Amino acid sequence: MRLAIYGAQGYALSVYEAIKTLYPKREISCFLVTHLAGNPFVLDGLPVMEITNFAKDNSLADKQDTEILIATPEQVQPEIEEILENFGFQNHRRLTFSRWEELMMLFHAKVGKFLPLKALPVGCHEPFIRLYMAKSHVDRPLKHSIPTPEYVLPIQAGTDCADVRVADLRDNVGLHISEKNGNYCELTVLYWIWKNKLAVSGTADGENRQYYGLCQYRRGFDFRQDDLLKLIDNDVDVVLPYPLLYEPNIHAHHERYIKDEDWKALRQAVSELQPQYESMFEQILRQQYLYNYNVILAKKSILKDYCSWLFPILERTEELSIPRGKERKDRYIGYMGETLETLYFMANSDRLNITHSGCRLWT
């Protein structure tokens, strides 16, 4: 039976790579999309087809002999199912977040490049965790309420840019860059964490048992208790989302959001402030894996080191940008943060114990 994958962005391409690796005998015929606009025409040599044209090209027998895996964010999957059934495709199934996370775990465990947190043995020591969830006054309410663990603390991002309050914690208290939220997005919260929660140093042993991090109102880790019990006893330094694949590389992906002039500013900032990362930067841009969403959980000392590296580069990038960052609000710094997170942790993967987990989208 033929297999077609519905989706054509990083989520679907990651699924394709996992299936190709884990089940090499499975034939994948193409990628499907509702509309080609904004999507590639080809992925890894396979055509990307609009469902309308795909349906016309297939007889009833072909449709019955085609399995379609819906590899998109969960909130659009019901709509896609309806589209498929209207075109006569009955053999389809959703790739839910749980199934996607399991597929990524098996794939990365086999490849051995991005270690899954779930592949580690469960320990017996419970860490101290503070995971701050960035919320915005423009966030739409979730359709379904999600229980928030006590270690997840909602905090308003861009408080200085809004008249309403959506969280008890705010990113404009203490040292902050709340007013830059239009450019920095959720990174104004990471800056607040750095300056107000990570600045006080404790003992080395104490900081190795403390984990701080950032997630978003709709994007975050979906940890189980066993996952948390793996951190200390396995000496985990960092937990990051499974990286997504982009073709031909992550630079081409981010060119959709970041102008060439801004890339030049970022390159110059890295060259001036962290020249030892300059050659690695070009290498990272030419590979396919990207850490999305600026979501992270790390030991206190590790996160502090990362923030001390990250924010001077972003500040210098603002100064070099034309127009300068303070004169615009187009989220470009937030997108650059994803690239720099990818650069920093891939460049330091040999010295840090980095693990990975699924990053869930709540709707």
Instruction: Indicate whether 199 and 296 sit together in one domain.
Output: yes
Residue by residue, what is the 3-state secondary structure of the chain? CEEEEECCCHHHHHHHHHHHHHCCCCCEEEEEECCCCCCCCEECCEEEEEHHHHHHCCCHHHHHCEEEEECCCHHHHHHHHHHHHHCCCCCEEECCHHHHHHHHHHHHHHHCCCCEHHHCCCCCCCCEEEEEEEECCCCCCCCCCCCCCCCEEEEECCHHHCCCCCCCEECCCCCCCHHHHHHHCCHHHHHHHHHHCCCCCCCHHHHCCEEEEEEECCEEECCCHHHHCCCCCCCCCEEEECCEECCCCHHHHHCCCCCHHHHHHHHHHHHHHCHHHHHHHHHHHCCCEECCCCCEEEEHHHHHHHHHHHHHHHHHHHHHCCCCHHHCCCCHHHHHHHHHHHHHHHHCCCCCCEEEECEEECC
Instruction: Indicate whether 135 and 280 sit together in one domain.
Output: yes
- pTM (predicted TM-score): 0.95
Instruction: Indicate whether 245 and 131 sit together in one domain.
Output: yes
Has residue 101 been placed in a domain?
no
C-alpha Rg value of the chain to the nearest Å: 21
The pair of structure tokens assigned to 172 is 């404009």
Instruction: Indicate whether 132 and 46 sit together in one domain.
Output: no
C-alpha distance from residue 21 to each of 14, 18, 68, 93, 304 (Å): 11, 5, 18, 20, 37
Q: What is the CATH number of the domain that holds 192?
A: 3.90.550
Helix 332-347 / helix 260-273 crossing angle, nearest 10 deg: 40
Res 323: pLDDT: 86
Task: Give me the tens of pLDDT residue by residue for the chain, a chain 363 residues long.
Answer: 899 999 999 999 999 999 999 999 999 999 999 999 989 999 999 999 999 999 999 887 788 899 999 999 888 999 999 999 999 999 999 999 999 999 999 999 999 999 999 999 999 999 999 999 999 988 888 877 778 899 999 999 999 999 999 999 999 999 999 999 999 999 999 999 999 999 877 666 677 899 999 999 999 998 999 999 999 999 999 999 999 999 999 999 988 889 999 999 999 999 999 999 999 999 999 999 999 999 999 999 999 999 999 999 999 999 999 888 778 888 999 999 999 999 999 999 999 999 999 999 887
Instruction: Indicate whether 80 and 133 sit together in one domain.
Output: no
Res 33: pLDDT: 98
Res 1: pLDDT: 84
Has residue 17 been placed in a domain?
yes
Has residue 162 been placed in a domain?
yes
Res 203: pLDDT: 64
What's the CA gap between 175 and 106, in Å, rounded? 42
Q: Which domain holds residue 280?
A: 117-361
Has residue 207 been placed in a domain?
yes
Q: What is the CATH number of the domain that holds 41?
A: 3.40.50.20
Give the number of other Cβ atoms within 10 Å of residue 74's Cβ: 17
Instruction: Indicate whether 271 and 357 sit together in one domain.
Output: yes
Has residue 106 been placed in a domain?
no
User: In total, how many domains does the chain have?
Assistant: 2
Has residue 109 been placed in a domain?
no
Domain end, chosen from 95, 130, 151, is at 95
Res 205: pLDDT: 66
Give the number of other Cβ atoms within 10 Å of residue 99's Cβ: 14
Instruction: Indicate whether 26 and 133 sit together in one domain.
Output: no
Instruction: Indicate whether 61 and 183 sit together in one domain.
Output: no
Has residue 100 been placed in a domain?
no
Res 194: pLDDT: 98
Measured CA angle at 172 (ends 316, 358), to 5 deg: 75
What's the CA gap between 115 and 21, in Å, rounded? 16
Instruction: Indicate whether 215 and 314 sit together in one domain.
Output: yes
Instruction: Indicate whether 276 and 336 sit together in one domain.
Output: yes
